[in-house]
Amino acid sequence: MSRQLTRRDFAIRTAGFGLAGFNLAMGLAPPATLAEAEQASRSENSPAVADPYSLDPYSLVDPELLPVLKQFPAYDLTAEMVGKFRQMPGMPPLPAPAPQPVERRIPGPPGAPEVRLWVVDPAPLEKGKPLLLHMHGGGFMMTDPGLMPQIQGIATDCHCVVVSVDYRLAPETRYPGALEDNYAALKWVHAHAAELGVDRSRIAVGGESAGGGHAASLAIHARDRNKRDRNKEDVPICFQLLIYPQLDDRTGSSQAVPPAIGNFMWTASANRLAWSSLLGVPAGSSKVPVAAVPARVASVAGLPPAWIGVGSIDLFGEEDMEYVQRLVHAGVATELLVVPGAFHGFDRLVPDAEASKQFSASWKSALRKAFAAGKADTAEKLEVSRQAHSKEENNA
């Protein structure tokens, strides 16, 4: 029974913005900037798509996901709800023998506060381990209450160090604040790879939803910084793990949303609020800085290999598939998984569903394969270096 309650609590905290009684459960003192961001998200007309067939959105949902989904009433995310969600306590870490999260504080970007990291290491005595630099979801504005059990699970299942970044949240911190925090964390894990027992050539980035969007932005930023700062040491990324990533501010604002998608858990109105909060200007507008939005960046060439997964009726489905197409056209090795009848966050809400288990197994397998490929590349480079050194000694 306790296992069942924990799972339900997990689902409520990570996906249940619209739970009945939510408004009665928590007090509220939202920052004024949240209300301002909400106003900005409504300041431009948002296109709507007429539905000539009066489609029942529930008819498209995977039957195994439907009973739990129907327990969540429809809602529109507001600044008020964001304020309440921020006050919700997070789930505690899984007890030992699960690897325990360790808090670290590192120097932040110039002129900014320190960045808090959570480090989970499943094998502290091992050397040459892979590492996932993780960015949590939460619509750019919130943390993930289920973060601790989640990163512990990744560390255990993928046998890697997980470093999760507690980046600054919007709208109090606009773009590029969170990106700078994430880049500071990337530089830190590279600089402290020996201390962490990590192979610097096997550092991946990843996240879910907004965290996936942050991970994609970080990969682009790191690529551009590596090109620009040629006098400094590169901070390479071996892989991008993008789980239903939030990639395009125009979805639901300047670009219409088909009636079949985005009806559950994360809607067009929520997307406008989230992006407007991050950007400080209305989502979808001409004022949006191109570099702030992965889908708007001119070129995706030279980015690390990627895995992208999304549900077919997730609001992000179309933008994620378009991003995959751009990556493939640019010669970036990319795997795409589209889950029929799955809405945003389905795997977190109904983890025991067959679709959820297959989805989780797919991205974990992709991450393990990327780490294994990186290990093989490292071994090959070491062997080439050894042979070259041996040849030099023989010629001396």
- Write the CB contacts of 212 (distance below 8 Å, at least 6 apart in sequence): 135, 137, 206, 241, 242, 243, 244, 245, 246, 247, 308
Asked whether the CA dihedral 233, 238, 243, 244 is positive or negative, the reply is positive
Catalytic (active site) residue 352: no
Catalytic (active site) residue 344: yes
DSSP E strands in 280-333: the ranges are: 306-311
Place of tokens 């006098």: 231
Catalytic residue among 164, 209, 276, 277, which? Answer: 209
Catalytic residue among 144, 199, 248, 314, which? Answer: 314
Catalytic (active site) residue 385: no
Cβ atoms 49, 257 nearer than 8 A: yes
Catalytic residue among 134, 190, 214, 344, which? Answer: 344
Burial class (CB in 10 A: 0-12, 13-18, 19+), 327: buried
Alpha helices (H) in the chain, listed in sequence order: 2-15, 22-25, 32-41, 66-69, 79-86, 147-158, 177-191, 193-196, 210-228, 268-279, 317-329, 346-349, 354-395
Q: Which residues are catalytic?
A: 209, 314, 344
